């Protein structure tokens, strides 16, 4: 009797597990939207949720800058007046070749996208099913429908011409096509030369939690490493902590931070930051803004106002939109809304270290027609790299 019950239990468990497997693989198959779902991507930003937090709950205790990356010896050396002692100024890492140094951070995307594609293309018979898997791989990595279809068509053509395929040939071919998809011709310099001869003005925008303040801080380090003097404008006036966070980044590299009263007017902080930047003959002013806005109209009013007020001094040289690479399609919707509000001149894709969806680089550039200029590959102070299509693709498909 007992044995019978045991047998039934085992049978139920086995059937359940098999069922799970089947459902699992079906679900996997359904994951990438079919080509007919393309309108999704171009659908109007019906409810863009601009005021929303990015996916993970951002109100959780967040690691602060100090907790994240202070190397051992960099704490302020207290000599006589402990509270006012300035922290030791750090010398940031040089920016050249950063992406190459940080390429291991792309390992998730590398495994999902680069290695996945190479393995598929190395199959002896490239039948319809295999090509469908290639498509699925690209869609799952957030490359986007249109670019995926284009790439697969190009690959099919070129693989046919190749006839026999050596791994080296395949890698070369895939590399060329991926680089072409990312469009190596786009200008990816972060422009910081103001035509008026005053400081270059860069405004950083994006939804709360995407990494604006962190990126502003990291960018300040990049600029300082390249020999510029930098002024930071803390135009996120929602919380005093936001200005503190920015100021801490500034102090570490010796950049002056201009801030206003909590809940004060962001536009006047931005205006003052540029004013002080001019007075100090700084090379660049970086303006960090708030992303916690509850309606699209609110966002429009506020960012538009910040921009207009700053432009009483001089035109903006860059408006960088910060997008969290882990939020996928949601990030694209955000991108569209921000692009309606201000002229975005460059994209910063953060958190590429935490996702297998490196293909979002392609999708977001297509969406806005604006180049990805910088990528975030970690929380560390020097984990922001200039985006280089060749080095990026090399990192994806490995050596
Ligand atoms: N892993 C990872 N975390 C990042 C990156 N950029 C920013 N973050 C983290 O994202 C969180 C939110 O960043 P923050 O700059 O405060 O976002 P903001 O609200 O847009 O200003 C912080 O914990 C950052 O350390 C990145 O490239 N990689
Ligand atoms: Mg912030």
Q: What is the pLDDT of residues 179-220, one digit of tens each?
A: 999 999 999 999 999 888 999 999 999 999 999 999 999 999
> Residue 15: which pLDDT band, with cuts at 50, 70 and 90?
very low
Averaged pLDDT, 213-236 = 96
- Strand ranges (DSSP E) for the chain? 200-205, 230-235, 256-258, 284-289, 318-324, 346-350, 372-376, 384-386
> Residue 343: which pLDDT band, with cuts at 50, 70 and 90?
very high
Least confident residue range of 175-189, 325-339, 342-356, 377-391: 325-339
Ligand 1 close to Cβ of residue 334 (< 6 A) = no
Report pLDDT for 85.
60
Q: Is 101 helix (H, G, I), strand (E, B) or coil?
A: helix
Ligand 1 close to Cβ of residue 216 (< 6 A) = no
Contact call for residues 191 and 356 (beta carbons, < 8 A):
no
- If you measure from the C-alpha of residue 292 to the centroid of ligand 2, how many angstroms do you get, rounded to a whole number? 9
Least confident residue range of 206-215, 235-244, 361-370, 380-389: 235-244
Other residues' Cβ atoms within 10 Å of the Cβ of residue 97: 13
Least confident residue range of 6-20, 213-227, 252-266, 315-329: 6-20
Does residue 235 or residue 110 have the better pLDDT? 235
Ligand 1 close to Cβ of residue 378 (< 6 A) = yes
Q: What is the DSSP string of 176-192?
A: HHHHHHH-TTS------
Rounded to whole angstroms, the Cα distance separating 368 from 332 reads 9
Q: Is 145 helix (H, G, I), strand (E, B) or coil?
A: helix
> Residue 163: which pLDDT band, with cuts at 50, 70 and 90?
confident
Quote the mean pLDDT of the chain. Answer: 82
The pLDDT of residue 47 is above 60: no
The pLDDT of residue 328 is above 90: no
Averaged pLDDT, 266-271 = 97
- If you measure from the C-alpha of residue 58 to the centroid of ligand 1, how many angstroms do you get, rounded to a whole number? 10
Least confident residue range of 16-30, 64-78, 97-111, 121-135: 16-30
- If you measure from the C-alpha of residue 240 to the centroid of ligand 2, how many angstroms do you get, rounded to a whole number? 11
Ligand 1 close to Cβ of residue 211 (< 6 A) = yes
Least confident residue range of 162-171, 255-264, 309-318, 354-363: 162-171
Ligand 1 close to Cβ of residue 376 (< 6 A) = yes
- If you measure from the C-alpha of residue 206 to the centroid of ligand 2, how many angstroms do you get, rounded to a whole number? 9
Report pLDDT for 84.
57
Which of the ligands is closest to the CA of residue 376? 1
Least confident residue range of 97-106, 135-144, 340-349, 386-395: 97-106
Segment of 46-55, 88-97, 110-119 carrying the highest mean pLDDT: 110-119
pLDDT > 70 in the chain, percent = 77
- If you measure from the C-alpha of residue 91 to the centroid of ligand 1, how many angstroms do you get, rounded to a whole number? 21
Residue nearest to atom 13 of ligand 1 (CA): 211
Which of the ligands is closest to the CA of residue 68? 1
Report pLDDT for 299.
75
Which of the ligands is closest to the CA of residue 216? 1
What ligand 1 atom has the least distance to the C-alpha of 218? 6
The pLDDT of residue 363 is above 90: yes
What ligand 1 atom has the least distance to the C-alpha of 378? 28
* pLDDT tens digits, one per residue of 271-308: 999 999 999 999 999 999 998 766 777 877 889 999 99
Other residues' Cβ atoms within 10 Å of the Cβ of residue 239: 13
Report pLDDT for 298.
80
> Residue 58: which pLDDT band, with cuts at 50, 70 and 90?
very low
What ligand 1 atom has the least distance to the C-alpha of 354? 1
Ligand 1 close to Cβ of residue 379 (< 6 A) = yes
Which of the ligands is closest to the CA of residue 64? 1
- If you measure from the C-alpha of residue 262 to the centroid of ligand 2, how many angstroms do you get, rounded to a whole number? 14
Rounded to whole angstroms, the Cα distance separating 207 from 322 reads 8
- For the record, the structure tokens of 302 come out as 């506020």
Averaged pLDDT, 74-96 = 65
Contact call for residues 286 and 217 (beta carbons, < 8 A):
no
- If you measure from the C-alpha of residue 116 to the centroid of ligand 1, how many angstroms do you get, rounded to a whole number? 28
The pLDDT of residue 247 is above 80: yes
Q: What is the DSSP string of 335-381?
A: HHHHHHHS---EEEEE-GGG-S-TTHHHHHHHHHT--EEEEE--SST
Report pLDDT for 66.
42
Contact call for residues 274 and 311 (beta carbons, < 8 A):
no
What ligand 1 atom has the least distance to the C-alpha of 322? 20
Least confident residue range of 25-34, 227-236, 329-338: 25-34
The pLDDT of residue 382 is above 70: yes
Report pLDDT for 95.
79
């Amino acid at each position: 009797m007992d044995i019978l019950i045991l047998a039934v239990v085992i049978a139920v468990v086995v059937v359940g597990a098999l069922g799970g497997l089947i459902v699992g693989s079906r679900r996997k198959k359904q994951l990438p939207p079919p080509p007919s779902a393309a309108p999704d991507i171009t659908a109007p930003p019906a409810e863009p949720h601009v005021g929303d937090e990015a996916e993970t709950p951002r109100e959780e205790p967040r690691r602060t800058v100090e907790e994240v990356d202070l190397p051992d010896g960099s704490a302020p050396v207290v000599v006589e007046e402990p509270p006012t002692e300035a922290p030791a100024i750090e010398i940031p890492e040089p920016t050249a070749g950063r992406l190459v140094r940080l390429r291991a951070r792309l390992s998730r995307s590398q495994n999902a996208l680069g290695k996945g594609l190479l393995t598929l293309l190395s199959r002896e018979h490239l039948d319809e099913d295999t090509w469908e898997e290639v498509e699925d791989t690209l869609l799952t990595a957030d490359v986007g429908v249109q670019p995926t279809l284009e790439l697969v068509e190009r690959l099919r053509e070129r693989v046919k011409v190749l006839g026999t395929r050596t791994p080296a040939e395949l890698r070369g071919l895939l590399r060329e096509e991926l680089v072409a998809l990312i469009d190596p011709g786009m200008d990816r310099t972060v422009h910081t030369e103001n035509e008026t001869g005053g400081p270059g003005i860069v405004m950083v925008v994006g939804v709360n939690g995407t990494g604006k303040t962190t990126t502003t801080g990291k960018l300040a380090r990049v600029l300082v490493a390249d020999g510029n003097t930098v002024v930071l404008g803390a135009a996120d006036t929602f919380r005093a902590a936001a200005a503190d966070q920015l100021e801490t980044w500034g102090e570490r590299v010796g950049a002056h931070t201009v801030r206003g009263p909590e809940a004060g007017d962001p536009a006047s902080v931005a205006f003052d930051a540029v004013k002080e930047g001019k007075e100090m003959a700084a090379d660049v002013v970086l303006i960090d803004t708030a992303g916690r806005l509850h309606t699209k109209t609110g966002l429009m009013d506020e960012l538009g106002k910040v921009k207009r007020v700053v432009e009483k001094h001089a035109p903006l040289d860059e408006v960088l939109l910060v997008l969290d690479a882990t939020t996928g399609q949601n990030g694209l919707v955000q991108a569209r809304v921000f692009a309606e509000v201000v002229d975005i001149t460059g994209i910063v894709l953060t958190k590429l270290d935490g996702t297998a969806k490196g293909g979002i680089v392609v999708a977001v550039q297509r969406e806005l027609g604006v180049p990805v200029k910088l990528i975030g590959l970690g929380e560390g102070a020097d984990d922001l790299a200039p985006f280089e299509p060749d080095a990026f693709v090399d990192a994806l498909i490995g050596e």
